[in-house]
């Protein structure tokens, strides 16, 4: 049974054009998406955590970056980054390497998308400013509320005033193109919206579309949302912050705002069995046992789901 599933996973992976290996394929696709980070905002090891999850990572040198995706569009020679995390330097260097597009100097990417103003998702914007890359008019695609936040609040407004970044508001729910041939649509999702609203992204290349929803409140809080997000999507990267809540013994299950992986797996079990490997978890908290316990990971994979891995690719 397990080996049949493994074959299914391999087959579906081959069909979807994904691979765990960071090495470029013999004939790279025109338009490819890469996973550049899979952890929650604080990454692994996590600042302020001395539990075995992070003490072991420090001892072994294991590092996982905050959730982040990159796209290379070889038809036009452009790079798109999705989320500016505190690990932006390492993630963009990896993207350039995977894309075969190094040596870009002070214009390391061509466009940026951000989902919301929580530290793991936008703090990396600071590195586009005058102290570091000092880019020129980098288009930052975001919601009108996020753009207003960037234009009005320091230190972000300095990047706007110095033309290092150029906020570009999109209309939520409508497709737009960072450049011709690459489609993007943002959909509002419920989350802690202190400084900005929060969106999920659907990306559409010439052949496939991908969903990215790293941070969201429990699915129960907005009936129909998950189904709407998944419509027409070939690969989905879903909020996998917490596994089943037992990794947070001090918290009541109802207080955890994120959808637990186990509940998402219950909800989407049939879809995962039909298309193993389509549904992948990302944005895993440093305490999530799926990062540390091979038996938990095997349980997720046996149900037809996957844990995203840094360096994996999807041809769009
Ligand atoms: Zn987050
Ligand atoms: Zn968040």
pLDDT at 253: 74
Of the listed ligands, the closest to the CA of 192 is 2
pLDDT at 28: 79
Q: 35 CA distance to ligand 2 centroid (A)?
A: 18
Beta bridge partners, 31, equal: 73
Q: 40 CA distance to ligand 2 centroid (A)?
A: 9
- Per residue in 34-68, pLDDT (tens digit) is 999 999 999 999 999 999 999 999 999 999 999 99
- Per residue in 209-232, pLDDT (tens digit) is 999 999 999 999 899 999 999 999
Q: 196 CA distance to ligand 2 centroid (A)?
A: 10
Q: 43 CA distance to ligand 1 centroid (A)?
A: 10
pLDDT at 2: 43
What CA–CA distance (Å, rounded) separates 280 from 272?
A: 10
307 in Cβ contact with 290 (< 8 Å): yes
Residue given tokens 């990047």 in the structure block: 159
The number of beta carbons lying within 10 Å of the beta carbon of residue 301 is 19
Of the listed ligands, the closest to the CA of 85 is 1
Q: 41 CA distance to ligand 1 centroid (A)?
A: 5
Q: How many alpha carbons lie under 13 Å from residue 45 in its C-beta half-sphere?
A: 16
Q: 194 CA distance to ligand 2 centroid (A)?
A: 10
pLDDT at 1: 39
pLDDT at 15: 42
Q: 98 CA distance to ligand 1 centroid (A)?
A: 24
What CA–CA distance (Å, rounded) separates 315 from 256?
A: 34
pLDDT at 7: 42
109 in Cβ contact with 80 (< 8 Å): yes
Q: 214 CA distance to ligand 1 centroid (A)?
A: 7
CA proximity to 176, closest of 207, 143, 198, 148 = 143
Q: 52 CA distance to ligand 1 centroid (A)?
A: 22
Q: 103 CA distance to ligand 1 centroid (A)?
A: 30
CA proximity to 96, closest of 24, 196, 180 = 24
Tell me the whole-structure pTM to 2 decimals.
0.91
* Average pLDDT per 10 consecutive residues for the chain, totaling 316 residues: 43 44 64 98 98 98 98 97 98 97 95 98 98 98 98 98 98 98 97 94 97 95 95 97 90 84 97 97 97 98 98 97
Of the listed ligands, the closest to the CA of 66 is 1
Q: 171 CA distance to ligand 2 centroid (A)?
A: 21
| Domains, the chain | 2-18+28-315 (3.60.15.10)
Q: 38 CA distance to ligand 1 centroid (A)?
A: 10
Beta-carbon contacts of 235 under 8 Å, excluding residues fewer than 6 positions away, are 16, 18, 208, 210, 211, 278, 280, 314
């Amino acid at each position: 049974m397990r080996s049949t599933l493994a074959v299914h996973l391999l087959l579906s992976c081959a069909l979807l054009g994904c691979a765990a290996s960071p090495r470029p394929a013999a004939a790279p696709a025109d338009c490819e998406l890469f996973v550049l980070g899979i952890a929650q905002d604080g990454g692994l090891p996590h600042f302020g955590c001395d539990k075995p999850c992070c003490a072991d990572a420090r001892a072994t040198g294991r590092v996982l970056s905050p959730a982040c995706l990159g796209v290379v569009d070889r038809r036009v020679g452009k790079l798109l980054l999705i989320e500016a995390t505190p690990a932006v330097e390492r993630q963009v260097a990896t993207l350039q390497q995977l894309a075969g597009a190094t040596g870009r100097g002070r214009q390391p990417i061509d466009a940026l998308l951000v989902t919301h103003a929580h530290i793991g998702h936008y703090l990396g914007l600071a590195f586009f400013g005058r102290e570091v890359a000092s880019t020129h008019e980098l288009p930052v695609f975001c919601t009108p509320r996020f753009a207003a936040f960037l234009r009005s609040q320091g230190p972000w407004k300095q990047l706007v005033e110095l033309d290092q970044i150029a906020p570009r508001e999109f209309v939520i729910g409508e497709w737009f193109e960072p450049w011709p041939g690459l489609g993007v649509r943002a959909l509002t999702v419920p989350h802690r919206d202190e400084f900005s609203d929060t969106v999920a992204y659907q990306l559409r290349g010439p052949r496939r579309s991908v969903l990215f929803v790293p941070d969201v409140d429990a699915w129960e809080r907005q009936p129909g949302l998950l189904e709407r997000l998944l419509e027409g999507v070939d690969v989905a990267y879903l909020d996998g912050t917490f596994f089943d809540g037992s990794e947070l013994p001090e918290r009541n299950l109802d207080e955890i705002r994120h959808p637990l992986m186990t509940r998402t797996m219950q909800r989407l079990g049939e879809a995962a069995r039909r298309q193993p490997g389509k549904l992948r978890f990302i944005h895993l908290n440093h305490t999530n046992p799926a990062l540390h316990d091979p038996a938990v990971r095997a349980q997720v994979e046996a149900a037809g789901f996957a844990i995203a891995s840094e360096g994996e690719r999807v041809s769009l």
